[in-house]
């Protein structure tokens, strides 16, 4: 970057950030291995605490493993959707139609996950079995966001999910994780069936303050 371009936004990057929706309806067509590797390469450029680079990425393409993961996700998604339908106040920031579109998409993902071309598992590797898995999570999410933005830039759909991972032991057995590794999110990836468009977020004035909050 030259001095004259400092502070000049790159419209491409901003367009990608502002339209990087959770894409849950994906095509079953394969995604070239080269593109999958590109996503992981982008994830690998992200920051990590002390630059320790403990992120590890498993791209699951094997039909039997995808089916087993999809079954776990299905079981947990069904509970999630039932709870949200029964208790609307759990998604108070959505109006009724947005809420129902999201729940439909969650169910669609649950029904079709096994047929998607790749399920990417974002993991961290530790020196020894961690006592508190969640505590290390900060060093995986920057990579996850890089991966999501790279997918959007390539026209691929993706969504970070955690339902299946809630059943941790069963999930980690499917992908053969050693005790020193932990999974943080499962990202189905494929060519989108829906369209990319602007994300819906709170206004910036609601979520920021200068200098102090109150």
Ligand X SMILES: Cc1cc2nc3c(=O)[nH]c(=O)nc-3n(C[C@H](O)[C@H](O)[C@H](O)COP(=O)(O)O)c2cc1C
Q: Which of these, 139, 117, 126, lies nearest to 39 by C-alpha position?
A: 117
Of residues 40 and 149, the one with the C-beta less far from ligand X: 149
Minimum gap (Å) between residue 102 Cβ and ligand X? 6
Report angle CA 107, 78, 132 to the nearest 5 degrees: 110
Of residues 8 and 55, the one with the C-beta less far from ligand X: 55
Minimum gap (Å) between residue 210 Cβ and ligand X? 26
User: Using CA atoms, how far apart are residues 113 and 106, in angstroms rounded to an integer?
Assistant: 10
Query: Which residues contact residue 114 at a Cβ distance below 8 angstroms, ignoring those fewer than 6 apart?
Result: 63, 66, 67, 69, 70, 71
Contact 1, 181 (CB under 8 A): no
Of residues 48 and 185, the one with the C-beta less far from ligand X: 185
Phi and psi angles of residue 32, each rounded to the nearest 5 degrees, phi first: -55, 140
Of residues 130 and 160, the one with the C-beta less far from ligand X: 160
Minimum gap (Å) between residue 144 Cβ and ligand X? 8
Of residues 32 and 145, the one with the C-beta less far from ligand X: 145
Minimum gap (Å) between residue 109 Cβ and ligand X? 6
Minimum gap (Å) between residue 185 Cβ and ligand X? 6
CB-based burial of residue 193 (10 Å sphere; 0-12 exposed, 13-18 middle, 19+ buried)? Answer: middle
Of residues 93 and 209, the one with the C-beta less far from ligand X: 93
Give contact residues for ligand X (rule: CB under 6 A). 21-22, 24, 106, 109, 159-163, 199-200
Strands (E), 38-151: 55-60, 118-125
User: Using CA atoms, how far apart are residues 69 and 165, in angstroms rounded to an integer?
Assistant: 9
Tokens of 142: 């920057």
Minimum gap (Å) between residue 5 Cβ and ligand X? 29
């Amino acid at each position: 970057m030259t001095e004259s371009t400092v502070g000049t936004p790159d419209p491409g990057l901003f367009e990608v950030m502002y339209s990087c929706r959770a894409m849950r309806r994906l095509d079953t067509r394969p995604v070239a291995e080269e593109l999958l590797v590109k996503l992981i390469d982008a994830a690998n450029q992200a920051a990590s605490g002390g630059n320790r680079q403990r992120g590890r990425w498993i791209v699951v393409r094997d039909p039997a493993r995808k089916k087993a993961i999809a079954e776990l996700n299905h079981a947990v998604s069904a509970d999630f959707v039932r709870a949200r339908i029964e208790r609307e106040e759990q998604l108070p920031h959505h109006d009724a139609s947005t809420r129902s579109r999201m729940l439909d998409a969650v169910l669609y993902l649950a029904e079709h996950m096994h047929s998607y071309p790749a399920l990417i598992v974002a993991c961290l590797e530790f020196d020894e079995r961690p006592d508190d898995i969640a505590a290390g999570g900060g060093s995986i999410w920057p990579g996850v966001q890089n991966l999501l933005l790279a997918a959007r830039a390539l026209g691929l759909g993706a969504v970070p999910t955690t339902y299946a991972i809630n059943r941790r032991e069963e999930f980690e057995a499917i992908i053969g994780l050693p005790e020193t590794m932990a999974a943080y999110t499962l990202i189905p990836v494929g060519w989108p069936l829906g369209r990319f468009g602007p994300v819906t977020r709170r206004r910036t004035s609601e979520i920021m303050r200068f200098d102090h909050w109150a």
